[in-house]
Amino acid sequence: MPDSPETVPISTAWSVITGPPSAGKTTVLDALADRGHRVVPESARAHIAELGHAPADIAASPTLQARIQHGIAARQRAVEQALAPTDALFLDRALPDSIAYFEQLKLATDDLILRAARLRYRQVFYLQGLPLAADGLRFEDDHGARAIGDAILRAYRRLGYAPVIVPAPPREDLAEAVAERLGLILGHLG
């Protein structure tokens, strides 16, 4: 039986920057943009900011967390569907990240896995976590951030990716730390 158009994998020129909350993804993506690379901002941050819920309210309500995660996944699907597969760009998280969040909340993932398996990213970079920084949107604690980071890494691996692990920088100098991470990322892409 031939594959239907909805199940045929689509190879993309997109690279994903992912990791636990507060891993420095946005900082790295901003630096990539400053160097002229096209970047796509994180859907989750935009979605949560638009909802206007306090982090404590989100943390206290699994029902609200589930609603938020469904909204994030729908938004990420729309973002990725609107992109040309041949465009070289960097995504701040991608659809497989939602699988990890869904699993933590014990939400059904079958449809999400099918959709995430369809798009094939050029490369996945997993930034190791940094100390958790409160930013008015994050509701995870340190333990929760580590747990979701581990779940994200497992989700990409289950989809057949071998994420490049980008270590947490040993330097306190932010510019040097970002340059180190950029060097590793761009070096892997050639």
The string of pLDDT tens digits covering residues 37-70 is: 999 998 877 777 777 777 677 777 888 888 988 9
Tell me the residue ranges of DSSP E strands in 39-182: 39-40, 89-92, 119-120, 123-127, 164-166
Chain segment 97-125, per-residue pLDDT in tens: 999 999 999 999 999 999 899 999 999 99
Structure tokens that stand for 164 in this block: 């490049």
Closest CA to 72 of 56, 89, 90, 50: 50
**pLDDT for residue 108:** 95
Closest CA to 37 of 161, 122, 139, 126: 122
When comparing pLDDT for 37 and 140, which is higher? 37
Q: Is 166's pLDDT higher than 50?
A: yes
- Residues 6 or more apart whose CB falls under 8 angstroms from that of 109 comprise 99, 102, 103
Residue 132 identity:
L
Task: Report the alpha-carbon distance of residue 123 to residue 44 in Å, rounded.
Answer: 20
Average pLDDT over residues 6-20: 90
Closest CA to 163 of 113, 126, 127: 126
Is 0.85 surpassed by the pTM of this model?
yes
Fold of 13-189: Rossmann fold (3.40.50)
Structure tokens that stand for 175 in this block: 């510019």
Structure tokens that stand for 147 in this block: 């747990």
Percent over 70 (pLDDT), the chain: 88
Chain segment 86-102, per-residue pLDDT in tens: 999 999 999 999 999 99
Q: Which of 37-41, 107-111, 130-134, 145-149 has the lowest mean pLDDT?
A: 130-134
Which secondary-structure segment (H or E) carries 142?
Answer: helix 142-158
Task: Report the alpha-carbon distance of residue 11 to residue 120 in Å, rounded.
Answer: 5
Task: Report the alpha-carbon distance of residue 158 to residue 149 in Å, rounded.
Answer: 14
